[in-house]
Chains A and B, each alone.
Chain A
Amino acid sequence: DQQVKQNSPSLSVQEGRISILNCDYTNSMFDYFLWYKKYPAEGPTFLISISSIKDKNEDGRFTVFLNKSAKHLSLHIVPSQPGDSAVYFCAAPKASGTYKYIFGTGTRLKVLA
């Protein structure tokens, strides 16, 4: 049972344009979400997070939107840069205050110069 899903395995975007990566979840008890970026042969790097009390969190070129009623979150990257090419994972702690994180299957973003 995949509780955190990323239905697009890959996405290609032109440099300078917006990249939108999507994530859906099934458990309405999830109250915190994180996005990680992973380059080949490296560990995932934390990008940005959002608490369920918010519907938007912004950090520079990265913005995460949360739609609790749809159980959907998205990561927007504006403007996209070639260095953003990586695999992006969304993740959620399985229950509030636990160490158990559920990761989505990842979306491979390719930003074309």
Chain B
Amino acid sequence: DTEVTQTPKHLVMGMTNKKSLKCEQHMGHRAMYWYKQKAKKPPELMFVYSYEKLSINESVPSRFSPECPNSSLLNLHLHALQPEDSALYLCASSQAPTGSYEQYFGPGTRLTVT
């Protein structure tokens, strides 16, 4: 099973709402990632969890709050977002860096902030 699943597929939220994005993988990967992708741009790294601990935060605004409840799950909690936060949010996972480098991506959540 090389699948990373993400829910929901689409999300529309107002600037005062609180919502969460969810990601799950069952490949035994110990690194999980959140990326943001705007149209016609490459994915931009937001957060990395390694062995369920936050190891990289790319200076992401605090209105985005990641959480890794266990080795298979990754959440991104959203609060008080801005319209410019509208984008495709991608989750990915990979083995530890000493092994294979390939990241497996989920299909993404298309977020629209109104």
Cβ A41 vs Cβ B110 within 8 A: yes
Query: When the two chains form the complex, which single residue of A34, A41, A89 contacts B42, counting CB atoms closer than 8 Å?
Result: A89
Q: Which of A85-101 contact B (CB under 8 A)?
A: 89, 93, 96-101
Chain B residues contacting A99 (CB-CB under 8 Å) are 31, 33, 48, 50, 55-56, 94, 97
- Shortest CB-to-CB span from A98 to chain B, Å, is 6
Taking residues whose C-beta sits less than 8 angstroms from the other chain, chain B's interface range is 20 to 34
Which A residues form the contact surface with B (CB < 8 A)?
32, 34, 36, 41-46, 49, 89, 93, 96-101, 103-106
Chain B residues with CB under 8 Å of chain A are 4, 6, 31, 33, 40-43, 45, 48, 50, 55-56, 90-92, 94, 97-98, 101-108, 110
Contacts of A106 in B (CB 8 A): 40, 42
- Shortest A79–chain B CB gap in Å is 25
